[in-house]
């Protein structure tokens, strides 16, 4: 029973990391940008849920929709204001800008809401599901199912739709994509919108599991999701999911054997080992430099 519970906990935590890692992977796959503000977009989504349910007293379903929509709009706005003007700038400039946006969101949230953690009300009154003698966490089941559905939908979007083909074309060669009539800026904005929507879903699922919103909650969550993306092979959708699950299971089982103080260290140690053995990540492909 305890083992099954730990497996479900690992799936839940790993699924949250996987959703966030998918956002990193999408943006990096298109414009080779490590969007370090991605974790803070999740933080904003958590605060939106808190505001809608705790302060406005609205239905949790409205909180879910507004959290996802708010994160999506924020992601597109960040791209338009901070990243789009630097599209042709050196990659280091955009990376520094991403770090600046991250600090801006964190300190802005602290200024608006205070440094203390806010308790996010429950989205549903159902807490557990009884299956025979086994008690399963409802939030864990929802998290795993939502992540699986989101991964399938995202894969279909990238592989089978016109916008997905445009995203892949921009990823392969931005200049050639322009020559073929693809609106590169629109395609990149769409990528940010989808990645940020995934962050919004991740925010809701994270609040279901941990019921708190704080200005710094996105730092470690975003960092571990980035580790998951690199672990699975950044730029690969299935790689992001596998990496997220590996990080989630590593944390849960290290805590289960009584070494919870080491769980962060184990995650980064796992990354080091994988990159030594396979520098491109588990499902990553070698990048070729165009001359």
Q: Picking from 1-10, 50-59, 161-170, which range would have the lowest pLDDT averaged per residue?
A: 1-10
Per-residue tokens: 262: 């080491």
pLDDT for position 163? 87
Per-residue tokens: 260: 């919870």
The residue extents of the domains of the chain are: 18-222
**pLDDT above 80 for 245:** yes
pLDDT for position 97? 92
pLDDT for position 68? 94
pLDDT for position 285? 67
Higher pLDDT, 53 or 90: 53
pLDDT tens track for 104-134: 999 999 999 998 999 999 888 877 777 777 7
* Among the listed residues 241, 242, 263, 244, the one whose alpha carbon sits nearest the alpha carbon of residue 252: 263
Averaged confidence pLDDT in the chain: 87
Higher pLDDT, 250 or 258: 250
Q: What is the pTM of this model?
A: 0.88
**pLDDT above 90 for 34:** no
pLDDT for position 291? 44
User: For residues 194 and 79, is the Cβ–Cβ distance under 8 A?
Assistant: no
pLDDT confidence tier of residue 287, bands split at 50, 70 and 90: low
Per-residue tokens: 74: 């924020």
DSSP run (H or E) holding 147: helix 138-160
Which contacts (CB < 8 Å, 24+ apart) does range 157-162 have? Answer: 157/194, 158/237
pLDDT confidence tier of residue 77, bands split at 50, 70 and 90: very high
pLDDT for position 92? 83
How many percent of the chain have pLDDT more than 90?
33
pLDDT for position 174? 81
**How many CA atoms does the CB half-sphere of 213 hold within 13 Å?**
33
**pLDDT above 50 for 4:** yes
pLDDT tens track for 177-235: 888 888 888 888 899 999 999 999 999 999 988 888 999 998 888 888 888 988 888 87
pLDDT confidence tier of residue 46, bands split at 50, 70 and 90: very high
């Amino acid at each position: 029973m305890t083992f099954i519970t730990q497996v479900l906990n690992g799936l839940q935590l790993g699924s949250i990391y996987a959703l966030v890692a998918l956002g990193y992977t999408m943006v990096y796959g298109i414009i080779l940008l490590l969007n370090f503000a991605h974790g803070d977009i999740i933080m904003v989504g958590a605060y939106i849920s808190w505001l809608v349910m705790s302060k406005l007293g609205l239905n949790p379903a409205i909180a879910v929709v507004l959290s996802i929509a708010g994160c999506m709009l924020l992601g597109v706005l960040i791209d338009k204001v901070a990243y789009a003007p630097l599209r042709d700038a050196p990659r280091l400039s955009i990376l520094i800008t991403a770090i600046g946006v991250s600090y801006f969101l964190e300190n802005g949230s602290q200024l608006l809401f205070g440094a203390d953690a806010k308790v996010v009300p429950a989205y549903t009154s159902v807490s557990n599901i009884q299956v025979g003698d086994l008690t399963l966490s409802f939030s864990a089941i929802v998290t795993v199912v939502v992540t699986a559905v989101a991964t399938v939908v995202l894969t279909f979007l990238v592989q089978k739709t016109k916008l997905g083909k445009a995203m892949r074309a921009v990823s392969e060669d931005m200049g050639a994509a322009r020559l073929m009539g693809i609106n590169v800026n629109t395609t990149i904005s769409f990528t940010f919108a989808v990645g940020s929507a995934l962050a919004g879903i991740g925010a809701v699922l994270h609040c279901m599991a941990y019921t708190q919103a704080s200005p710094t909650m996105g730092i470690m969550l975003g960092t571990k999701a980035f580790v998951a993306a690199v672990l699975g092979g950044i730029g690969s959708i299935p790689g992001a999911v596998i990496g997220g699950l590996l990080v989630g299971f590593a944390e849960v089982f290290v805590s289960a054997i009584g070494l919870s103080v080491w769980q962060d260290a184990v995650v980064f140690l796992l990354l080091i080992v994988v990159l030594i053995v396979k520098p491109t990540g588990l499902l990553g492909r070698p990048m070729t430099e165009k001359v």
